[in-house]
Structure 1
């Protein structure tokens, strides 16, 4: 498989998609809800996913597409080549802020991440990686990640998870928040994983994410020596929703051993 050839096409398409999104900034969006009133989707989410599907199927007809908005293939396994796409990760931010959102695109082969692309559209920053070849931002190599202690760390974490909620025992997360240097929340899993990759934050924790939220980020972080698992420390399968811990080396295992191991994630 010529991954550099596929990567070249993917980069071209993600930049074109970014142009389409920027062109929509001064237009009225058609906004709908999905699973709940805060789970939003716009006409642009749908149009961008269909744009990618048309490009992929037109150039790589044997490849399958796993997309958030459901216009791709019915994916029950990751056999062969599968593109995993979130056309706009952080739709609420896109609607309210026109920033803090990203296009997330990954290409997997037989369950292994081969290409990861995350495009911060508002800032014109493309984060990209090919398995085994390092990770980059707009062509500039990103340095490998260094170890950090919890007390030195900034952790990306939604405030929901330290409030009483029906998914987890929030009391397990509170000590981690107290011990960390600080916490941040950006409302977009793709960019929060980019921020781990670039060292802007040291770890990112979430309780429930879909494959298209994290597939590209997992490829990029892995190229830099970071670790991406669920909160039990187990391997992600990229077919179902799961919890997530993405962190610098060393810090990842410390968080699991010292804070998360008693949790029923």
Structure 2
């Protein structure tokens, strides 16, 4: 069985996501972050991997089911696949964001998730030091989460470059 799901709770207050809690019951891992207080997994401080080179990176992505071969999502997938070390499509936006925050993944992008899929993960990723931007380098929108999150500004720039133009 492939089990990639989690319980995810985010708190939005004063115009910003402020708290994130994500629990993975299959691995008994609790990811937490409070705005300004860092990110933790089972009470251990987390930080992004520090990867700066796309050809050394492990990347994940999320896009809608049922895409066709001529979809821009497939084009983006292939562009990144050709440049990174490995590319995965795991299934849980919340866990993917936690994995970037904990250095298990170096980057992740999503273009078709709901706000509740990413809410808690945005705080966790941000508090780990990961770089989180809206799709194409725009400011991240909590209510329209089309985004890219990476371990470092250098990787974010390289990954965003691969994702743009399609």
Q: What TM-score do the two structures reach when normalised by structure 1? A: 0.56
* 1:115 counterpart = 2:19: yes
Quote the RMSD (CA, aligned, Å).
2.3
Query: Secondary structure of the residue that 2:137 maps to in structure 1?
Result: coil
Residue of structure 1 aligned with 2:147, choices 219, 244, 259: 244
Query: Secondary structure of the residue that 1:118 maps to in structure 2?
Result: strand
**1:163 Cα deviation after fit:** 5.5
Determine if contact 1:210/1:238 at 8 Å carries over to the other structure.
Answer: no
Residues in 2 aligned to 1:152 and 1:163: alpha-carbon distance in whole angstroms:
28
Q: What TM-score do the two structures reach when normalised by structure 2? A: 0.87
* 1:164 counterpart = 2:69: yes
Deviation per residue, 1:4-59 (Å, 9 max, x gap):
xxxxxxxxxxxxxxxxxxxxxxxxxxxxxxxxxxxxxxxxxxxxxxxxxxxxxxxx
Query: Secondary structure of the residue that 1:123 maps to in structure 2?
Result: coil
Q: Map residues 179-218 of structure 1 onto 2, 5 A cutoff.
A: 179-218=83-122
Residues in 1 aligned to 2:55 and 2:67: alpha-carbon distance in whole angstroms:
18
Deviation per residue, 1:60-90 (Å, 9 max, x gap):
xxxxxxxxxxxxxxxxxxxxxxxxxxxxxxx
* 1:143 counterpart = 2:64: no
Query: Secondary structure of the residue that 1:237 maps to in structure 2?
Result: coil
**1:123 Cα deviation after fit:** 1.4
**1:98 Cα deviation after fit:** 8.0
Determine if contact 1:132/1:223 at 8 Å carries over to the other structure.
Answer: yes
**Bigger Cα Rg:** 1
Question: How many residue pairs are counted as aligned between the two chains?
Answer: 164
